[in-house]
Amino acid sequence: MSARTLPSAAPWLRRATIDLDAYRSNLGRLRELVAPAELMAVVKADGYGHGATHLAAAALEVGVRWFGTLDLRNAHELRAAGFRPPAGPDGTADPDAVALFAWQFSFTETFERAVSERIDLGISSLAQLESVARAVEAVSQASSPDSGGAVDPALTALVHLNVDTGLHRDGVLPADWEPLVTRAVELVGAGVIRLRGIYSHLAEASDDDDTDSAVLLTEAVERANTLGARFDRRHLTASSAGMERPELRLDMVRMGSNTYGIPVTDGVSAADRGLTPVMTLSARVARVKRIAAGTGVSYDYTYRAPHETTVALVPVGYADGVSRRAQHGVSVALRGKRYPIVGRVAMDQFLIDVGDDPVEVGDEVTLFGTGSRGEMTVGEWADVIGTIGEEVCSGIGSRVPRAYLSEGADLSEGAGLSESADL
């Protein structure tokens, strides 16, 4: 047997390359598709593992002004990065302002910082709404101690009321809808909040179920209108229904998966939609070994070489987001050809069987990407291991550096970063 190891001066060992041009192209395609509805780009979970700050900056360049962050931590990070908040009580005075929509909060959240930073808040209970009202009063008093209790119009909270139309996660049930709307109307009259939206989320279990949910949202809007509420916008659909059900797009569509080129419809690829996968996951061969027939590899010897062959070590593993299920059916691309993962995927590495083909330490291995190098796409990868592309991308760990490409240039910090090959 012979073995070769990766030189310590290798430029990088593992990385996820994020194609910002592809992201901008996807956004442009999707904005055209959903028009006249507005597109909200969902960048929760650090942009599904792609990097929310870089993506939001790229999205601004093509005119996207709404971003879904899920929680306030992500929203605060974007504000700290310089994404300017809307001005004025209606939140529309500044055409270059960025609306950040958050809807999942700690039960102890007091909302003062969210109000100060003009973050759009998805409200699912009367208790949350009262907390927002107290936050507006507290922030106004702190900024203008001599105001006599009057609310500063520039600090009016931007609120979206969430009605539960069948998903049964967040949202107000019908029995609690009228008290929430009644109180919201009172706060609008007092200048404390603005009703920037009413929204819900589809279960996407079937077309009939989604239609029933849309009817419930319409009824909620009509009931709220009779109570004096007026909403700036209605939003219901995300990536799947946003593509498949144009009649449900309403005023805004919240899209995450499609923007990253991750297919959301069974049997339909990103290319079928005119979209391009944004993330490419790569690593470099760290070791090459020639092994005899019958040799077992990796933990438990779940694979034994059927004949003399060459195996190559790829230094990413389940700690980096490569599922242990990838042993069964996943292939990676090396020198334009696919090779199967063999043996158990370990925490930090896996092996591929390259047979008698030439392979060198330092060769680039593409786990998934656009398919242009012969590699699997993230949709194909997800299908093989029995999950969805969103889970694959968002699971790529933090020790995998992100490299950001735009117009052929690497925009990431430490683009030439050397990584240790001591495995």
Residues with catalytic function: 44, 299
Three state DSSP letters for 288-299: EEEECCCCEECH
Cβ-contact 332, 366 below 8 angstroms? yes
Dihedral (CA of 93, 236, 225, 105) sign: negative
Which helix (H) or strand (E) segment holds residue 99: the answer is strand 99-104
Is the preceding peptide bond at 277 cis, omega within 30 degrees of 0?
Answer: no
Q: Say if CB 48 and CB 394 are below 8 A apart.
A: yes
Strands 99-104 vs 66-71: parallel, antiparallel or unpaired: parallel
Contacting residues for 16 by C-beta, under 8 A, at least 6 apart: 49, 50, 279, 280, 281, 282, 396, 400, 401, 402, 403
For Cα atoms 31, 43, 283, give the angle at the middle one, nearest 5 degrees: 110
Q: Is 125 helix (H, G, I), strand (E, B) or coil?
A: coil
Determine contact, residues 398/15, Cβ cutoff 8 Å.
Answer: no
Contact present, 198 and 249 (Cβ < 8 Å):
no
**Nearest-angstrom CA–CA distance, 323 and 346:** 9
**DSSP class of 15:** E
| Nearby residues of 313 by Cβ (< 8 Å), 6 or more positions away | 285, 286, 287, 288, 289, 349, 350, 351, 423
Residues 370 and 282: their CA atoms lie apart, in Å, by 12
